[in-house]
């Protein structure tokens, strides 16, 4: 940085000398020694300032380079950490897949020897149990067994209901509907309070369908609970019951490649259906 500064000072002195020389003609005087000393002093001050600025620039440049190195090192460390975490996740995933595959093979062989065994996922560290894409479900009322399609994309479970009729009872909203027996021509009339309504937009229509939501007791495998079902006419559907995420959540794991992995236990002898 010092050589360009000296070159600049030398050039400036030369230009000044040329200027003073050009001004010396008829009627002009040569530059005095005092003026030259002033010019030299001024140039020395300028040179000193330029050297200070150059030193400050070199210092800032050094600090920037050190900071850049620290940033690069931090990015390298983060990249290595992320890669290590990704490797651990992939390893855990692969181990889980292997355990699940072994478990499924064992469960299939055990179910062939004992059909009343309830599938569980204890071998892979969870209390959820395994179901297929189609399962038997007992609904109460009417206390009958239906084939249900498992749909992880549906938020709320749905039930095939015919002749849906809304009415009031004690100032509350109720609904009366019929459930078709899955094996016979019998229809069961059920009355339930309406928990809420949902708006459904059909893919084939822009109109919104307002459907009542009720609570019913269901049983899949050995799990028996009360959960919400929307009521709709599912005559055009293959299955009278659709199981959505409100039942599956925190409870079941779905193997879409299989069916009927959670057989229902025999009904109790006390007459409960």
Domain that includes residue 15, residue range: 1-22+32-57
Strand 187-193 relative to strand 252-255, pairing: unpaired
205 and 128 belong to one structural domain:
yes
Say yes or no to pLDDT of 201 above 50. yes
Q: What is the pLDDT of residue 122?
A: 44
Secondary structure (3-state) at 156: coil
Within-domain flag for 36: yes
Element (H or E) spanning 5, and its range? helix 2-22
181 forms beta bridges with none
Within-domain flag for 27: no
Strand 157-160 relative to strand 223-232, pairing: parallel
129 and 240 belong to one structural domain:
yes
Within-domain flag for 64: no
Within-domain flag for 76: no
129 and 244 belong to one structural domain:
yes
pLDDT band of residue 218 (cuts 50, 70, 90) is very high
41 and 131 belong to one structural domain:
no
Say yes or no to pLDDT of 228 above 70. yes
| Mean of pLDDT over the chain | 81
Interval 25-54: pLDDT, tens? 444 445 677 877 787 888 888 888 888 888
Ranking 74-78, 169-173, 210-214, 228-232 by mean pLDDT, the lowest is 74-78
Say yes or no to pLDDT of 108 above 80. no
Domain count, the chain: 2
128 and 213 belong to one structural domain:
yes
128 and 10 belong to one structural domain:
no
Phi and psi torsions of 30, nearest 5°? -70, 155
Closest to 249 measured CA to CA, from 232, 228, 263: 228
What's the rounded Cα separation, in Å, for the pair 152 and 216?
A: 19
Angle ∠(188,189,191) on CA atoms, nearest 5: 140
Within-domain flag for 103: no
């Amino acid at each position: 940085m010092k050589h360009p500064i000296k070159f600049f000072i030398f050039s400036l002195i030369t230009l000044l000398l040329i200027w003073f020389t050009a001004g010396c003609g008829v009627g002009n005087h040569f530059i005095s020694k005092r003026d030259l000393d002033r010019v030299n002093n001024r140039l020395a001050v300028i040179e000193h300032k330029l050297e200070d600025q150059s030193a400050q620039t070199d210092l800032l440049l050094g600090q920037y380079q050190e900071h850049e190195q620290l940033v690069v090192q931090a990015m390298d460390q983060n990249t290595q950490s992320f890669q290590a975490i990704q490797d651990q996740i992939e390893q855990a995933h692969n181990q889980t897949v292997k355990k699940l595959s072994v478990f499924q093979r064992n469960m299939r062989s055990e179910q062939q020897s004992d059909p009343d065994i309830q599938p569980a996922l204890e071998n892979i560290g969870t209390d959820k149990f395994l179901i297929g894409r189609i399962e038997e479900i007992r609904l109460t009322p009417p206390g009958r067994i239906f084939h249900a399609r498992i749909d992880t994309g549906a938020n709320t479970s749905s039930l095939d209901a015919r002749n849906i009729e809304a009415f009031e009872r004690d100032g509350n909203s109720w609904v009366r509907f019929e459930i078709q027996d899955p094996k016979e021509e019998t229809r069961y009339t059920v009355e339930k309070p309406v928990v809420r309504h949902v708006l459904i937009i059909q893919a084939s229509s822009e109109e919104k369908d307002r459907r009542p939501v009720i609570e019913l007791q269901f049983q899949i495998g050995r799990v028996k609970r009360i959960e919400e079902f929307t009521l709709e006419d599912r005559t055009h559907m293959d299955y009278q019951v659709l199981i959505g995420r409100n039942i599956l959540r925190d409870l079941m794991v779905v193997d879409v490649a299989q069916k009927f992995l959670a057989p229902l236990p025999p009904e109790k002898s006390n007459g409960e259906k």
